[in-house]
Amino acid sequence: MNNQESAFTETSSTIQFFPPGRNLHRNNFMKLDDAEIYYEVKGDGPPIIFIHGLGGNHLSWWQQIPHFVDRYKCINFSHRGFSLSTNHSNKIGHEVFADDLSQLIEMLNLKDVYIVAQSMGGWTALTYFLKNVSNVKAVVMASTSGTIDFKKINHPQIEKLGEWEKWSGEEMKRLKNAEVLNAIGFEMAKTQPALSLNYEQIYNLTPYSYKETIRTDIKSNRIQSPDVLNEVDTPFLFITGENDVSFPAIGGEAMASVMKNAKWINFKNTGHSVYFERADEFNKSVDEFISIISNISVKKD
């Protein structure tokens, strides 16, 4: 063996390889009567389910899974109709999505799950949670209140909602004129062009018309009373971006205020996709939150 081979052998033995997915080289689909749900499972440990938003799919969590996979079982999937999943019926909406999630959790025999949900995924997550409280250890709601109408919360910040709505409307017009997605925002577009392109490529994998139909549906279903959360003991973490044009940071602050065991983190100079734009800080915040419940050490830098 020459010196080059020796050096490689010595170096490679110290590498911590990324663990392969279950059933490597196979596409994993949960087959339902009217849909196929694509999913992936990596790692071992307590299960974390990552639930994507309207602009994403299973690929959206590429920055989160490598962070958690050495200590947790990570499950990511695509909602029905979002690539690579299919939808052979006209059934959409949070109830349908939550039922799909429930069947996936049952099929994979997942117990005591942790949920990390982004934007639209919050509708799926909260709907599942309220029907399966005993099977959920903790929930992270990023840039979302899910089905809860946060405007009905009696919180001093809600009085400032009119100011945010005016700013948001003007900012959305500027973003449209600049051909920047609302979920990307100006900060990420200016400072992280490669990341912005990556987000846009994932976004375009699902037809725009399908996403718009779902957008209309979920907005019309943010009507649930905040009172349903008053007696919830399960730990919740609300994460928001200061410059989010789609979900106001004050909504996350208000949501945390009505729950017994909730906290709120707001990221300055950040838009709607905190998990994508500020992944390292997002991961650390989620890791610290979950570690308190799981008793698993936070990943070291």
Domain annotation covers residue 3: no
8 pLDDT band, cuts 50/70/90, is very low
- CATH code: domain of residue 148: 3.40.50.1820
Nearest to 231 by CA among 264, 261, 263, 254: 261
Instruction: With a cut of 90, say whether residue 224 has pLDDT above it.
Output: yes
Instruction: With a cut of 80, say whether residue 15 has pLDDT above it.
Output: no
Average pLDDT, the chain: 93
For range 1-18, the mean pLDDT: 53
What is each CA distance from 188 to 75, 138, 146, 244, 276, in whole angstroms?
A: 27, 29, 24, 11, 9
**What separation, in Å, do the N-terminal and C-terminal C-alpha atoms of the chain show?**
35
Residues forming beta bridges with residue 50, ordered by sequence position: 76, 116
For range 242-271, the mean pLDDT: 97
Domain annotation covers residue 75: yes
pTM of the model: 0.93
Domain annotation covers residue 173: yes
Domain annotation covers residue 19: no
Query: Is the bond preceding residue 181 a cis peptide, omega within 30 degrees?
Result: no
For range 186-212, the mean pLDDT: 97
Tell me the pLDDT tens digit for each residue of 95-132.
Answer: 999 999 999 999 999 999 999 999 999 999 999 999 99
Question: Among residues of the chain, what percentage have pLDDT more than 90?
Answer: 90
Q: What number of helices (H) and strands (E) belong to the chain?
A: 11, 9
Domain annotation covers residue 85: yes
209 pLDDT band, cuts 50/70/90, is very high
CA–CA separation, 101 and 122 (whole Å): 12
CB atoms within 10 A of CB 121: 29
Lowest mean pLDDT among 19-28, 105-114, 138-147: 19-28
Domain annotation covers residue 12: no
Q: What is the tally of structural domains in the chain? A: 1
CA–CA separation, 66 and 147 (whole Å): 30
Q: For the chain, how many residues are written?
A: 301
26 pLDDT band, cuts 50/70/90, is low
CA–CA separation, 210 and 284 (whole Å): 33
What is each CA distance from 21 to 39, 60, 113, in whole angstroms?
A: 10, 16, 19
Domain annotation covers residue 194: yes
For range 224-250, the mean pLDDT: 97
CA–CA separation, 248 and 84 (whole Å): 30
CA-atom Rg of the chain in angstroms: 20
pLDDT confidence of residue 96? 98
**Domain membership of residue 99 as a residue range:** 28-294
Domain annotation covers residue 167: yes
pLDDT confidence of residue 186? 97
